[in-house]
Amino acid sequence: MDVRAHVSVIFHLDKCIGCHTCSVACKNVWTDRPGAEYMWWNNVETKPGTGYPTRWEDQQKFNGGWQWDGAGKLRTRCQSKADSYLKLFYNPNQPNLDDYYEPFTYKYDDLFTAKLSDDQPTAVPISLITGEPIEIKSGPNWDDDLSGSPIYAENDLNLDKLTEEERNQLFEVERLTMFYLPRICNHCANPTCVAGCPSGAIYKRGEDGIVLINQEKCRGWRACVAACPYKKIYYNWKTGKSEKCVLCFPRLETGQPPACFHSCVGRIRYMGVMLYDADRVPDAMKVPDRALVESQRMAFLDPNDPQVIAAARKNGISEEFLDSAKNSPAWKYIMEWKLALPLHIEYRTMPMLFYVPPLLPVMGKSSNGTYNHDAKDFFTSLDQSRLPLKYLASLFSAGNVDIIEAVMRKLMAVRYFKRWQSVRDMDENDVNKILREARTTPEEVEQIYAMTAIPTHFQRFVLPPLQREEAIESSCSPEACKGCTGFSLEPTFHPRA
């Protein structure tokens, strides 16, 4: 058992309102630079929709992630070691600018310098690359809220799993539904970008699992852009280096959650430590698609198990880290309640970002103008749900509908129970039946409710002290480093109030 700690992330999609505040916070902190304008380390997609870059889920085209032929090793889909050298000159799997969008601004100066005339002056859009006037044809969230649109939503790859009838129903005006999918780098446990980097510039930090690109070692071969199935590595066209989400590690190291987490209006984001067995990582993803979610769960270790704690101590994981692992909201969502699921686990990278799938678009099917719920069989709406579970399964459980259904039942049970508590419009026996069928208990429901609806800042973000002072020590004296790192060593935020 090789116990490692990982700073893991939960996004609760039922709470996401699609306001893009996270994206803007990230843009302002990290990517407001020449060459990085088009990068959205954090972006929010409307589902069903095509995402950013357009149709990034299409691995027939982009060839990201790992491939497993049922036996033997996992192989990077984008390249073998031999042909990776030919792909240095031209990488057929790399998305180009048009798969994203041409970054633009407006010629605001024209508003002030225009000569007096009868017409209102206008600020024409210009490209941030060439400086020439352009016609804006796409943007980072171009299909925002356009569910049901034949140009955008219909091209969502996850709809391929649905039958023709289900697809058609989804695009009837009365049944239109959507939800938001915020995406950052998944900081995978078995990342393809690291495996694909010819220069060895991408690495996983041992202490917290953050995946980073060493800008001094990166030689701009762009293999990582192709290798990452989530297209969360971006090529800086100006510096000739690749860049990605750094999970705001300088903020984490001073006890603050990342900028996108901190600014989240819907408070959908949670962060906590997960302990996992690094020995299981190489083989965990060598199982059929249906079993992937469960196989990833098997790699996680219980932070309350004395054996695990002993092994973790032996591996140099500090007491503070172990403490935060015990209080981790991630552990609760992923392992205790089994509500949070990884995005597209079939890419086999073991993403360490988990989503609580959205219930609202599923439940909200109406007939004759009223929401349908049948007191005799409370979960029938799942079978005839507005958004077919198959669609969610394609996103969050590699097509395994049973897993999605279990999550949905539990989420519904929480709602039925809390409604019954305050409204008392149901028979107590019925409520208990619902809880039984959802395989939960009133205690668990209360916990889920508390963590979902009314958590405090420090319940959502249980950040371990990352011992920045020690990290600096390894390369230079902390006193000498103070100036050059740009961040004060004094904690500006106390981790636990």
Partner 1 sequence: MIDAFLFIGLPYIALIVATIGCVRRARFSKFSMSARSSQFLEDRQLLWGSAPWHIGIMGVLAGHGIALLLPQVWSYILTVPPAMYLIETVGVACSLLALAGLSTLIYRRLTSARIQAVTTTSDLLVVALLFLQVLVGLLSAVSFRYGSAWSTATVVPYFWSLLALQPDMSYVSGFPMLFKLHLIGGWLFVLLLPFTRLIHILAVPFQYLWRAPQLVIWNTTRRRKQALAASIRAESRREFIKGAAGVTGATGLLALGVSSKAINFFKGASQDPEAESALLEKKLQRLKLTAEERSYELERQRNTMILVAGYAELDAVKGKYFIDYAMAPGLAFKGKDGMPIVISAKCTHLGCTVSSTLDENGRIMCPCHISYFDILTGMPNPGAPAKAPLPQIAWALVDAGGKVLASNTPGQASGKVAAPEALAQSSLYITKPGKTAA
Q: What one-character-per-residue DSSP string does 375-440 give?
A: SS-TTHHHHT-SS-HHHHHHHHSTT-HHHHHHHHHHHHHHHHHHHHHHH--S-HHHHHHHHHHTT-
In the bound state with partner 1, the residue whose beta carbon lies nearer, of 130 and 422, is 130
In the bound state with partner 1, the residue whose beta carbon lies nearer, of 139 and 220, is 220
Rounded to a whole number of angstroms, the minimum distance from the CB of residue 130 to partner 1 is 4
Rounded to a whole number of angstroms, the minimum distance from the CB of residue 272 to partner 1 is 20
Binding mask 150-179 for partner 1 (x = CB under 8 A): ------------------------------
In the bound state with partner 1, the residue whose beta carbon lies nearer, of 132 and 165, is 132
Distance of alpha carbon 290 from the chain centroid: 21
The single residue among 6, 55, 183, 222 that binds partner 1, judged by CB under 8 A, is 222
Note whether 215 binds partner 1 by CB under 8 A: yes
Task: Give the torsion through C-alpha atoms of 175, 14, 186, 47, to 10 deg.
Answer: 10
Residues 119-148 interacting with partner 1 (rule: CB under 8 A): 129-132
How far is 54 from 36, CA to CA, in rounded Å?
18
How far is 76 from 224, CA to CA, in rounded Å?
11
**Contact by Cβ (8 Å): 213, 206:** no
Query: Does a cis peptide bond (omega within 30 degrees of 0) precede residue 258?
Result: no
Residues 6+ apart with CB under 8 A from 454: none
Between helices 401-423 and 442-453, what is the axis angle to 10°? Answer: 90
The single residue among 94, 147, 381, 397 that binds partner 1, judged by CB under 8 A, is 94
The single residue among 218, 398, 412, 431 that binds partner 1, judged by CB under 8 A, is 218
- Ramachandran area for residue 86 (φ above 0: left; ψ -120 to 50: alpha; else beta): alpha
Note whether 90 binds partner 1 by CB under 8 A: yes
Binding mask 292-331 for partner 1 (x = CB under 8 A): -----------------------xx---------------
Rounded to a whole number of angstroms, the minimum distance from the CB of residue 232 to partner 1 is 15
How far is 43 from 62, CA to CA, in rounded Å?
19
In the bound state with partner 1, the residue whose beta carbon lies nearer, of 59 and 94, is 94
User: Residue written as tokens 């859009």?
Assistant: 125
* Contact positions vs partner 1 (CB under 8 A): 2, 81, 84, 86, 88-92, 94, 96-97, 129-132, 190-191, 194-195, 197-200, 202-207, 215-222, 235, 237-241, 278-279, 281, 315-316, 467, 470-471, 473-474
